[in-house]
Amino acid sequence: MKVASTKLNYFTGNSTQKRSWLDRIHENTKNSADMTDTIVVPRTIFKGYLGIMAGTTIVTLSGLISNPKLFKGTVAAGLLTSLYGTWAFVRPFIIKDTKGVEKAK
Domain of 68 in residue numbering reads as 43-94
> Do 86 and 48 have their domain in common?
yes
For residue 52, being part of any structural domain is answered with yes
Q: Is 37 or 75 the better-scoring residue by pLDDT?
A: 75
Which residues, at least 6 apart from 92, have a Cβ–Cβ distance to it below 8 Å?
42, 44, 45, 98, 100, 101
pTM > 0.85: yes or no: no
| Nearest-angstrom CA–CA distance, 47 and 27 | 38
Domain count, the chain: 2
pLDDT, mean over the chain: 76
For residue 53, being part of any structural domain is answered with yes
Q: Quote the pLDDT of residue 15.
A: 54
> Do 49 and 28 have their domain in common?
no
> Do 83 and 53 have their domain in common?
yes
pLDDT by residue (tens digit) across 28-52?
766 655 555 556 667 778 888 999 9
Q: Is 57 or 18 the better-scoring residue by pLDDT?
A: 57
> Do 16 and 48 have their domain in common?
no
The three-point CA angle 105-34-8 to 5° equals 145
> Do 22 and 48 have their domain in common?
no
